Chain A
Amino acid sequence: MSDALDDRALRDRLARLTEAVPVSTRVPLVGATVRPRFRARIDLGLATLGVLIVVVVLAIGATSQSPASSAPTEKPSPGSTFVPLASILTWPLPKQSEAGAKASIARMFAVHPRIANAFLNGSANIPLVELAPDARCFSIRDVRTYEAQAPYCLVSFQALRQAYRMSGDPGFITAAADVLGAMRQYLPTALFLRFERDLQGLSDFLESQTRL
């Protein structure tokens, strides 16, 4: 069998296999496909990081014994500062004027500084990222350009699910959905077919959690 024949046969079969890929299926928000062993790996990783953080905090505490620094500096647990945005905005958001949408975003950023950081700093300086610096909470690009009317905000659905799993905080993801819902008004529609599906997935998931 010559290489040419190999290539032709392989090309045909690869092409047929490619055509079989189901590209338009809806992706669930939190799939039931997280295998126990991976969940265990996540837990183990988080536990290890938690121990490291405690050790670092204790070490810093031991080296700074001034009265000022010995004051309680306990951080709120993830999600505890979140205010249910349902009380502020309806979601999905109605179509708003440009000024109205900007005001909504500003208001949400004020209420949810952690998510605001994720947007404005490219996911820097938020607890989830500190826990796993290579696991970006959101893959969001150039969100600041919403000011320049040229917004490109692409959300990695995988990262969103991961953020939820790692935070274990439904409030976090609700708030994210609110912020993303507002941002959507600036986004090119075609680019965000998937994004819209993700938001719908969020909505369905949260609704199912509420019913439980």
Chain B
Amino acid sequence: LANGYVDEGVASAALAQAFERHRDWLVRRLALIVGDVEEANDLAQETFARAAEHWPLPADRDEARWLATVGARLAIDERRRRRRWGFLPIREADATWALAADPDLWAALGKLDRRTRAALVMTVLDGFTQDEVGTALGVPRGTVASWLARARKSLRSTLRDEPA
């Protein structure tokens, strides 16, 4: 970062604009994956830290997709990290917002693991293909397809209750 800047003022402003544009959206997506807004805030912060390290992103990279991918990876890695270091605190989710909005869907999502939730959010909400999710999360496409099939099966009963 320090050595790569020719016009750091422009780069800094562009990064700040990207933060303004994508931060809230990213926190919302991550909250769905990790189930906790506070953790999602930290993960979004960390995602922008990574963005700052790689800024400016290559011209062929879509900012939102880059952030969504890095954020999802971090969300999955954070859980692994906390499992590895058993003494690190894992905050209990305070999900009153989700319970107020859609308790059935929230409960159904809670039965899925983070990787599956990440794959679901990336494909259903963000329009990633299964290949792209596989690349982003470092697993074969077939694995993603398997996660999504299981997720759909698990969520199907909830979806059936959706009013017309």
Contact = CB atoms under 8 A, between A and B. Distances in A.
Most buried by A among B85, B88, B156: B88
B87 A157 contact: no
A23 B161 CA distance: 28
**Could you tell me the dominant secondary structure of chain A's interface residues?**
helix
Contact of A18 (B20, B125, B152): B125
Interface residues of B, number: 59
Given A16-B101, A150-B5, A156-B45, A21 B53 contact: no
Given A190-B16, A191-B16, A21 B38 contact: no
A63 interface: no
Most buried by A among B48, B84, B94, B124: B124
Interface stretch (B29-37, B56-64, B65-73, B135-143): B29-37
Nearest to B158: A13
Contact of A22 (B19, B37, B53, B159): B37
**Could you tell me the dominant secondary structure of chain B's interface residues?**
helix
A102 interface: no
Interface residues of A, number: 59
Interface of A: 1, 3, 6-7, 9-11, 13-25, 27, 31, 33-35, 38-39, 41-46, 132, 134-135, 139, 141-142, 144-145, 147-150, 152, 154-159, 162, 165, 188-191, 194
14 contacts: A6-B159, A10-B152, A10-B155, A13-B105, A14-B120, A17-B98, A18-B32, A23-B24, A23-B27, A42-B88, A46-B87, A139-B45, A157-B45, A159-B42
Given A20-B98, A44-B87, 20 more contacts: A1-B160, A6-B152, A10-B124, A10-B155, A14-B32, A14-B121, A14-B125, A17-B32, A17-B101, A18-B28, A19-B28, A22-B97, A25-B37, A31-B91, A33-B92, A41-B87, A150-B1, A156-B42, A165-B89, A190-B20
